[in-house]
Amino acid sequence: TVARYGGRDAVWSGAQRRALTYCVSTTFGSRHGQVVAAMREATEAWEAVADVDFQHASDEDRRCDASNGAVIFDVRPVRGASYLARAFFPYSARRSRNVLVNDSSFTVRAPLSLVGIMRHELGHVLGFRHEHTRPEAGRCYEDGNWRGVTEYDRASVMHYPHCGGTDSALTLSALDAEGASALYGAPTGSAPPAPPPSAGTPRSGTADGSVSAGQTQRYRPIDV
């Protein structure tokens, strides 16, 4: 389920998708290596199913913040946030292109892991919306600014488990792989197939209270 912005799918261009550079802030301290490893595993998961290339610019780690124009996005720690992690969409300005990792991400219980959280956040980086914003989910509606690339997928890495998702480990499903390939091409660089013409339709939903059409609602613990 891809985000829509300005009447178009929110995806990276051909040149950008093959040079998605990022830094991992050294302000993670003793956890820096853990985050680097989690990002490596998470980026490899997406690279295995789509023609995208994430590149860790380790030389930029010591000045890894929103002002660093040498990378596409930065990965930085936060403390005391109400989410586990927060990311962005491809249309975001550089100052907002951050993956913020809350300290609570390091103490989650299995099967959820830091790697799973990063897989989910990188889905947003590639333009994917929360799968549970689709009407088939029946709850946790957010808004109608999306287009269905595949059929609804309850097992999607982009589906919150507490909103009806079935994969608490947040791994890429077969339909996640199909959707990523449709938007970005197969890993070999082949042209993406034509996606089905499904689109989001604003509607009401109920989850922890009523959410009206057109109102954006964020559901914890993993924020956009």
Residue-wise pLDDT tens digits, 64-94: 999 999 999 999 999 999 999 999 999 999 9
Our count of domains for the chain comes to: 1
Residue 176 lies in a domain: no
**pLDDT tens readout for residues 103-132:** 999 999 999 999 999 999 999 999 999 999
Burial (CB count <10 Å: 0-12, 13-18, 19+), residue 37: middle
Residue 138, in any domain of the structure: no
Task: From first to last of the 224 residues of the chain, give the pLDDT tens digit.
Answer: 999 999 999 999 999 999 999 999 999 999 999 999 999 999 999 999 999 999 999 999 999 999 999 999 999 999 999 999 999 999 999 999 999 999 999 999 999 999 999 999 999 999 999 999 999 999 999 999 999 999 999 999 999 999 999 999 999 999 999 999 999 999 964 444 444 444 444 333 322 222 222 333 443 444 55
Q: Measured between alpha carbons, how far is 171 from 200 in angstroms, rounded to an integer? A: 24
Would you say residue 150 lies in a domain? no
Give the range of the structural domain holding residue 30, as residue numbers without chain letter: 11-107
CA distance 128 to 90: 10
What CATH number does residue 55 fall under? 3.40.390.10
